[in-house]
């Protein structure tokens, strides 16, 4: 698997950089406009969560291959407070910020694969993938 490109998240501008990186990578890989938008939207949500809840972290964008399929893989990592109850935050409508974002469930719906690991006091890692059809 390719090492990928990394966006360090420390500010609102970095969220835009991560979104653009994901969209450009998807475009270069041959994803259509709709999937490019889905990927960029999911990355925006995930990068925003890093900024809001952990303060800093990284978004890594790389090509993925599995069983002969090519896709894009997004790895979002932080060393923030972690998530106490993943089942709760994955419920539609759950929000800690009272924001209008789609939250983690929305980001999950936009991608084909979505894995989340979190430990309180250690941080959170989310890996998601979109496969080319």
pLDDT score, position 93: 72
pLDDT score, position 101: 61
Burial of 34 (0-12, 13-18, 19+ CB in 10 A): exposed
Its pTM stands at: 0.93
What separation in angstroms does the CA of 48 have from each of 10, 11, 51, 69, 131?
10, 9, 5, 29, 23
- Residue 3 has a CB neighbour count (10 Å cut-off) of 7
Q: Kindly state the tokens that stand for 90.
A: 């994955």
pLDDT score, position 97: 60
- What is the full per-residue pLDDT of the chain (133 aa) written as tens digits? 568 999 999 999 999 999 999 999 999 999 999 999 999 999 999 999 999 999 999 999 999 999 999 999 999 999 999 999 999 888 877 666 655 567 899 999 999 999 999 999 999 999 999 999 7
């Amino acid at each position: 698997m390719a090492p990928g490109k990394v966006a360090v998240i420390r500010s609102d501008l970095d969220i835009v950089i991560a979104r653009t990186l994901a969209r450009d990578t998807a475009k270069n890989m041959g994803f259509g406009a709709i999937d490019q938008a889905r990927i960029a939207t999911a990355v925006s949500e995930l990068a925003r969560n890093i900024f809001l809840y952990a303060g800093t972290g990284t978004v890594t964008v790389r090509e993925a291959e599995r069983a002969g399929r090519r896709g894009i893989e997004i790895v979002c990592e932080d060393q923030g407070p972690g998530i106490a109850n993943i089942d709760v935050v994955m419920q539609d409508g759950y929000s800690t910020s009272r924001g209008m974002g789609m939250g983690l469930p929305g980001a999950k719906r936009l991608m084909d694969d979505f894995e989340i690991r979190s430990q309180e006091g250690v941080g959170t890692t989310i890996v998601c993938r979109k496969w080319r059809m």
